[in-house]
């Protein structure tokens, strides 16, 4: 690792989808600080500032060298005044006083605690905070608060699902779901996606894409898998969303956070005996199982590549792919399709490589998408 940018270094693109970002982050000391600031801005609805800091963090994550001076960053994109001021502080004092202040802030800590519960977003967390609640027991003893099913299960399994999921646990879950899928149809295709596909060692959940070459059967396949897992007694919670996918309504002009494919948000019971290296981080090691959050999404086969690209992330990588498509190519990209606005036509893809090629982008491997 160099402490200065190599002299003949190519310019760093402002688009995350034109950078190669592995899980090795040489500038964690800065990017962790930016993330704290971004979270605070996010909960105060200061979206632009939040995005600005996330972009700055993403650029630093892509560097094969550790920043040791502000001068070495003058050629880098997306580093605004605020980001540079924070870096300056960290370079001089080893930490940012602004970040330290936020970390010790009661509101920040409480919001972080409440939103760590499955089913609790910033709005609910803020509502509870404004009611004066500061701990889980404050919330759980307030009889005027009605928890939905998802939140009830979030609290019920909090210990397990707030603990990171290991790669070995993700693999074990994959084999459990794969067995169920193949018992239903030998044609089932199950792909591990999300952070684990990008090579991360740990994740907060496990994401899968499920499909079948039998067009139109993907949704019932997903429903049948759920039934089977339930029968096996390993489904602790299931929030199912049926498909609202309608080819005739594409392309969707305004990007929505969620795609329209059939999907489910699960809490699954994972037996220790199924995990090669045993369960991750269980104190005392007396438990024979743990609860894990699992997402399963089921697009029709001819939209598989788009869904895979979208669900593989990272969030910033996807965001910049869509932005690059829109700004540089006059195209609309989302988890469903790619549309050329100039030619008024959809561009088909069976692999992710097809999509990068349509966009005129160099292919970036999943493990290089940790932007």
CA–centroid distance for 139 within its chain: 27
* Active-site choice (32, 138, 295, 354): 295
Least distance from ligand DCP to the Cβ atom of residue 113, Å: 17
Q: Does 166 bind ligand DCP (CB under 6 A)?
A: no
Residue 233 has which token pair? 């007694």
Least distance from ligand DCP to the Cβ atom of residue 290, Å: 16
Whether residue 295 is annotated as binding a ligand: the answer is yes
* Active-site choice (160, 205, 259, 318): 205
Cis peptide before 251 (omega within 30 of 0): yes
Backbone angles phi, psi at 226, to 5 degrees: -60, -45
Residue 128 has which token pair? 């509870």
Residue 316 has which token pair? 């910033």
User: Is 138 an active-site residue?
Assistant: no
- Rounded to an integer, what distance in angstroms lies between the CA atom of residue 323 and that of residue 15? 8
Whether residue 318 is annotated as binding a ligand: the answer is no
User: Is 205 an active-site residue?
Assistant: yes
Q: Does 310 bind ligand DCP (CB under 6 A)?
A: yes
Contacts of 255 (CB under 8 A, 6+ apart): 322, 334
Pair 287, 251: CB distance under 8 Å: no
Contacts of 211 (CB under 8 A, 6+ apart): 188, 189, 218, 221, 298, 299, 300, 301, 304
* Residue number with CB closer to Mg ion (5 or 194): 194
User: Is 126 an active-site residue?
Assistant: no
Contacts of 259 (CB under 8 A, 6+ apart): 245, 297, 299, 307, 310, 334, 335, 336
Residue nearest to Mg ion (CB): 194
- Rounded to an integer, what distance in angstroms lies between the CA atom of residue 286 and that of residue 225? 30
Q: Which stretch binds ligand DCP (CB under 6 A): 83-91, 199-207, 208-216, 324-332?
A: 199-207
Q: Which stretch binds Mg ion (CB under 5 A): 202-210, 271-279, 297-305, 361-369?
A: 202-210
Least distance from ligand DCP to the Cβ atom of residue 70, Å: 30
Least distance from Mg ion to the Cβ atom of residue 126, Å: 24
Number of residues that bind ligand DCP (CB under 6 A): 16
Least distance from Mg ion to the Cβ atom of residue 231, Å: 26
Pair 361, 18: CB distance under 8 Å: yes
* Residue number with CB closer to ligand DCP (209 or 359): 209
- Rounded to an integer, what distance in angstroms lies between the CA atom of residue 339 and that of residue 346? 4
Site map (CB under 6 A) of ligand DCP, residues 201-230, x = contact: --xxx-x-----------------------
Assign residue 233 a region: left if phi > 0, alpha if psi is -120 to 50, beta otherwise? left
- Rounded to an integer, what distance in angstroms lies between the CA atom of residue 193 and that of residue 269? 20
| Closest alpha carbon to 293 in 103, 108, 162, 191 | 162
Among 306, 311, 324, 339, binds ligand DCP (CB under 6 A): 311
Pair 335, 307: CB distance under 8 Å: yes
Q: Which of ligand DCP, Mg ion, none has residue 366 at its interface (CB below 5 to 8 Å by kind)?
A: none
Q: Does 257 bind ligand DCP (CB under 6 A)?
A: yes
Q: Which of ligand DCP, Mg ion, none has residue 43 at its interface (CB below 5 to 8 Å by kind)?
A: none
Whether residue 160 is annotated as binding a ligand: the answer is no
* Residue number with CB closer to Mg ion (56 or 192): 192
Helix (H), strand (E) counts: the chain: 15, 10
Q: Are strands 202-203 and 206-211 parallel, antiparallel or unpaired?
A: unpaired
Biggest CA pair distance of the chain? 64
* Residue number with CB closer to Mg ion (207 or 334): 207
Residue nearest to ligand DCP (CB): 313
Q: Does 154 bind ligand DCP (CB under 6 A)?
A: no
Q: Which of Mg ion, ligand DCP, none has residue 258 at its interface (CB below 5 to 8 Å by kind)?
A: ligand DCP
* Residue number with CB closer to Mg ion (203 or 300): 203
Provide the annotated binding site for Mg(2+): 205, 207, 295
Binding site for Mg ion (CB under 5 A): 194-195, 203, 205, 207
Binding site for ligand DCP (CB under 6 A): 194-195, 200, 203-205, 207, 257-258, 310-311, 313-315, 318, 335
Q: Could you give the residue numbers annotated as active site?
A: 205, 207, 295
């Amino acid at each position: 690792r160099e402490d200065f940018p190599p002299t003949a270094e190519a310019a760093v693109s402002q688009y995350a989808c034109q950078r190669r970002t592995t899980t090795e982050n040489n500038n964690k000391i800065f990017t962790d600080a930016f993330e704290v600031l971004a979270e605070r801005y996010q909960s105060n609805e200061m979206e632009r500032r939040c995005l600005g800091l996330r972009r700055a963090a993403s650029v630093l994550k892509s560097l094969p060298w550790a920043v040791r001076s502000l001068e070495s960053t003058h050629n880098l994109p997306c580093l605004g005044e605020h980001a540079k001021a924070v870096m300056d502080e960290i370079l001089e004092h080893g930490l940012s006083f602004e970040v330290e202040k936020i970390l010790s802030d009661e509101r920040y800590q409480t919001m972080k605690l409440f939103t760590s519960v499955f089913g609790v977003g910033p709005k609910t967390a803020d509502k509870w905070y404004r009611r004066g609640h500061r701990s889980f027991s404050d919330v759980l003893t307030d009889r005027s608060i009605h928890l939905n099913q998802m939140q009830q299960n979030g609290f019920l399994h909090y210990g397990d699902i707030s603990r990171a999921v290991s790669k070995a646990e993700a693999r074990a879950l994959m084999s459990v779901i794969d067995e169920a899928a193949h018992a239903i149809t030998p044609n089932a295709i199950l792909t591990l996606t999300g952070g684990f596909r990008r090579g991360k060692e740990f994740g907060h959940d496990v994401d899968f894409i499920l499909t079948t070459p039998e067009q139109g059967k993907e949704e019932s396949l997903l429903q049948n898998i759920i039934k089977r897992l339930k029968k096996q007694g390993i489904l602790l919670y299931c929030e199912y969303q049926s498909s609202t996918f309608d080819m005739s309504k594409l392309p969707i002009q305004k990007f929505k956070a969620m795609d329209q494919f059939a999907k489910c948000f699960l809490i699954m019971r994972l037996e220790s005996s199924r995990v090669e290296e045993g369960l991750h981080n269980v104190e005392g090691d007396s438990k024979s199982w743990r609860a894990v959050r699992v997402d399963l999404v089921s697009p029709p086969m001819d939209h598989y590549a788009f869904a895979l690209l979208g669900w593989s992330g990272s969030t910033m990588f996807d965001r910049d792919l869509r932005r690059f498509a829109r700004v540089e190519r006059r195209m609309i990209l989302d988890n469903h399709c790619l549309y050329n606005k100039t030619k008024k036509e959809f561009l088909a893809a069976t692999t992710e490589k097809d999509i990068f090629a349509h966009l005129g982008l160099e292919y970036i491997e999943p493990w290089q998408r940790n932007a």
